[in-house]
Amino acid sequence: MRKPLIAGNWKMNTDSQSAAALARSISDQSPGYGAVDLLVCPPYCYLKTVSAVLAGGTVLLGAQDMFHEANGAFTGEISAAMLKDCGATHVILGHSERRHILGETDQAVNKKTLAAHQAGLIPIVCVGELLSEREAGQTAQVIRRQFDGSLAGLSAELMAATVIAYEPVWAIGTGKVATPQQAEEVHADLRKLIAERYNAATADRVRILYGGSVKPDNAAELLGQSDVDGALVGGASLKADDFLAIAAAGTLLAGDDVTRPQNA
């Protein structure tokens, strides 16, 4: 069974004090949530602060983006090795805000994904359709195109170690959550696609998170779907109690019958 991952994407929020306090609160309470992996993704500039707070505990640290080059004249960018140096083990890539506000392409996300793996960071690669695409019946097509573009060139082993996040764009920050059935349909299709491109064993190992208006009151139903292996939480991850209530829904569903994926 895949161990659920509950990830908090803090986006461009918090300051040094509130980031440390939020991390402290989550870390202090984390021993009760051993059946799930907990991950927080603060802004770059607070990674080291949060890393120091999380030291010695089990809460994992991730970044929200990176550049694919290792170093050099790339003003304003940050590399996978730099993130690792700040204590990160994970990195969110291809978030819809980067795709749609900052113009990031599948090709750019793919370069970043390969570079993250090469540096030993676990990428959380986001895919998701716009409302207009869903209404036009193009959801499966869009997700498949993003998958093939963003995740090209990975070995089966690296694919298995990759986390995918399905985040329908119309559900992000809108309070309009996908129904558990809508989420499961896309997650199951993604897993089928991994089996087609690789094999069933690889598909079985990949954790696929749902993101988009996940809250304490809808988490249990979403996480209860057989192909939903966790959540990528935005707004609700900024309050420790809400984030942990979502984690609690994952903990209940996971029970004790979970194993950590090999490279996580």
Residue from 243, 263, 215, 264 nearest 40 by CA: 243
> Long-range contacts made by residues 202-205, C-beta under 8 angstroms, separation at least 24?
202/156, 202/159, 202/160, 204/2, 205/2, 205/160, 205/261, 205/262
With CB under 6 A as the contact rule, the residue among 62, 94, 216, 234 that binds ligand 13P is 234
**Binding segment for ligand 13P among 20-28, 99-107, 195-203, 212-220 (CB under 6 A)?**
212-220
Site membership for ligand 13P, residue 4 (CB under 6 A): no
With CB under 6 A as the contact rule, the residue among 3, 9, 111, 244 that binds ligand 13P is 9
Using CB under 6 A as the binding rule, the residues of this chain from 73 to 132 that contact ligand 13P are 95
Torsion of CA 154, 156, 157, 158, to 10 degrees: 20
With CB under 6 A as the contact rule, the residue among 173, 179, 201, 204 that binds ligand 13P is 173
Is 167 an annotated catalytic residue?
yes
With CB under 6 A as the contact rule, the residue among 19, 151, 159, 214 that binds ligand 13P is 214
Distance of closest approach, residue 202 Cβ to ligand 13P, in angstroms: 24
Of the pair 87, 211, the CB lying nearest ligand 13P is at 211
Site membership for ligand 13P, residue 216 (CB under 6 A): no
Candidates 68, 90, 95, 117; catalytic one: 95
Looking at beta carbons, which residue is closest to ligand 13P?
A: 234
Of the pair 147, 170, the CB lying nearest ligand 13P is at 170
Candidates 97, 104, 129, 167; catalytic one: 167
Q: For residues 91 and 22, what is the distance between their CA atoms, to the nearest angstrom?
A: 19
> Long-range contacts made by residues 154-158, C-beta under 8 angstroms, separation at least 24?
154/113, 154/114, 154/117, 156/198, 156/199, 156/202, 157/263, 158/117
Residue from 167, 164, 146 nearest 211 by CA: 167
Longest Cα–Cα distance of the chain, Å, equals: 49
Site membership for ligand 13P, residue 182 (CB under 6 A): no
DSSP 57-70: SS-EEEES---SSS
Enumerate binding residues for ligand 13P (CB under 6 A). Answer: 9, 95, 167, 172-173, 211-214, 232-236
